[in-house]
Structure 1
Amino acid sequence: MLQGSLVAIVTPMKDDGELDFDALTSLIDWHIDAGTAGIVIVGTTGESPTVSVAEHKALIDITVKHVAGRVAVIAGTGANSTQEAIELTRFAQQVGADYSLSVVPYYNKPTQQGMYEHFKAIAEAVTIPIILYNVPGRTVADLANDTVVRLSAIKNIVGLKDATADLYRASDLFDRLPADFACYTGDDGSAAAFMLMGGHGVISVTANVAPQLMADLCRHALAGDVAATRRINNKLLGLHRDLFVEANPIPVKWALAEMGRMGQYIRLPLTPLSEAHHHLIRAALQRAEAI
């Protein structure tokens, strides 16, 4: 089972808005060297809503080729159209991604049965392992625990990214899901507790700027070392909080530019980080010794 710190990696862009593949591959190498266990490409943090289908596929393809088996590649392939999600998931399988990450259909507000049928149709169209992604703060629709348990019976649905930050809900899932079904949190602030309670890792925004600390946090939490987990988490608290002072990935792209890792271009309708927040992110980076 894939465990640990899985970075929800940003999509670097040049000053003219074109994708910056050189910066992306540089970030990937940095993450692998720092102990990141997997690269999640074209998720929410990767600006999946604003890239074209062709760009989406290119990002997956280049990431798989550059990683070259060194760590796992989890390709974001979700969509609110079942057919588009199938197309993207088939492509990820074709180019050799290790997993796909499939978000709850957004905007069209399906029922629980609709979500079950959506994910079932994707799973039946491919053989690649699928990780479900529940983020009701963005999708409005909320994948209920009962539906996750139903979906876990489908052979190639192998995990869940839960971004609700609801630890009671997580503990219910840990109790009811098969032992080989992976549970990842999508909330950095509760990741330490999530793993100490039985979760398997985090799909992380914070890891974008503090990959080694997040990898260490996961390693200690998964080993049950509460003292070490608390010590590292305390260094990261500012990042967990302030990287969401505006909509993700606005703050994290600014932070990476501040660190000299890439440019800070972000596509509309998102806009660059407000100057009033610069000091917050800079202070959080300093506390985590990222700058």
Structure 2
Amino acid sequence: MSRISADSKGVYIIAVTPFKDDGAIDTASVDRMVDFYFDKGTDGLTILGIMGEAPKLTQQESIAITKQVLARSAGRPVIVGVSAPGLAAIGELTKAVMDLGAAGVMVAPPGSLRTDDQIIGYYRNVVATIGEDVPFVLQDFPLVTGVQISPRTIGAIIEALPSMVMLKHEDWPGLDKISELRAAEAAGRRRISILCGNGGVFLPEEMARGADGAMTGFAFPEMMVNVCKLAGAGNLDRAQDIFDAYLPLARFEQQPGLGLAVRKYVLEKRGVISSQAQRRPGAALGTKAVAEVDRLLLRLEKRLAELA
């Protein structure tokens, strides 16, 4: 199993966790989902993230899902979210998944961090816990974590901790943050990979600012794959045309508190998972919302036919 590095690029899709209607893990859908993501051209997977309902899983379930996904991925890179309130849990899960062959781990800051020194100190403690040989992703998602991490603080972490090889960039607004980080690299600082989240709704602009790809879970991964490839080849106009076709659905999926329900509904409609069920607590789509998503899917199909 290859490990992530500062040169990792492309789409590392944030995978959902499929459940049956009774809340049990749907192992058949896990295999089908892994196949679907790679068939659509993704470069890797990221499992047990925030939108993967990781806090609703036991440690044993997290390890079991990781083992299954790694086996199905057949050597292709899988990043595992290991964020937890305590360092002991992070260390235990990291050891388990890296022993199984994970490509790296992702760690979000706990909401208790307030100052730059606290944030830098926290990630020093993370590395001391998981080991300097484990490549990790810093998840910068202040809209959910409540932790604001400035480019200067990210830079201090990059310089202090060589095993921080990737930033999952989900600040909003955050385009200037990408530019500032890349400018520092142009001035001589160590390079890191930057993959972007937020449902992909800023992906063309993020790629133009110097991002390496996407790490988010939009239900049409082929959109992100195509946009990243086209943007990487310098064909920004065509990338924008493809992106614009999907934007109404991506926008609808981006609703706070409802986004995962939309994503799972679409994945169920696409035959990827057997049920849109979430473990409690979780939002559900009402009748009107379902009709709105169905309308957007029909319009997307029509627009893609026009673009083809």
* TM-score, shorter chain, exceeding 0.5: yes
2:4 maps to what in 1?
A: none
Pairwise CA distance, 1:93: 1.3
1:172 maps to what in 2?
A: 180
1:77 maps to what in 2?
A: 82
Q: Secondary structure at the match of 2:50?
A: coil
1:116 maps to what in 2?
A: 120
Q: In structure 1, how many angstroms separate the alpha carbons of the residues matched to 2:90 and 2:123? A: 9
Kindly provide the amino acid, as one letter, of the partner of residue 55 in structure 2.
P
Pairwise CA distance, 1:280: 2.5
Provide the TM-score with structure 2 as the length reference. 0.87
Q: Secondary structure at the match of 2:24?
A: coil
Alignment gaps of 5+ in structure 1? none
Instruction: Trace 1:1-291 onto structure 2 (pairs within 5 A).
Output: 1-69=7-75, 71-106=76-111, 108-124=112-128, 125-126=130-131, 127-153=133-159, 154-165=161-172, 166-177=174-185, 178=189, 180-187=191-198, 188-206=200-218, 209-247=219-257, 248-262=259-273, 263-289=275-301
Q: In structure 1, how many angstroms separate the alpha carbons of the residues matched to 2:121 and 2:13? A: 29
CA contact (8 A) 1:104 1:143 kept: no
CA contact (8 A) 1:236 1:287 kept: no
Percent of pairs identical after alignment? 24
Provide the TM-score with structure 1 as the length reference. 0.92
Q: In structure 1, how many angstroms separate the alpha carbons of the residues matched to 2:12 and 2:125? A: 26
Could you say what the CA RMSD is over the residues aligned between the two structures, in angstroms? 1.7
Pairwise CA distance, 1:274: 2.3
CA contact (8 A) 2:36 2:272 kept: no
Q: In structure 2, how many angstroms separate the alpha carbons of the residues matched to 1:105 and 1:246? A: 20
Change beyond 3 A, Cα 1:171–1:2: same
Q: In structure 1, how many angstroms separate the alpha carbons of the residues matched to 2:248 and 2:283? A: 22
Q: In structure 2, how many angstroms separate the alpha carbons of the residues matched to 1:112 and 1:230? A: 36
Q: In structure 2, how many angstroms separate the alpha carbons of the residues matched to 1:128 and 1:274? A: 43
Larger of the two Rg values belongs to structure: 2
Q: In structure 2, how many angstroms separate the alpha carbons of the residues matched to 1:223 and 1:284? A: 29
Deviations 1:112-166 (A, max 9, x none): 2222122222223322210100111111112222121111121211010111132
Q: Which moved more, 1:76-85 or 1:189-198?
A: 76-85
CA contact (8 A) 1:34 1:211 kept: yes
Q: Secondary structure at the match of 1:113?
A: helix
Q: In structure 2, how many angstroms separate the alpha carbons of the residues matched to 1:47 and 1:83? A: 20
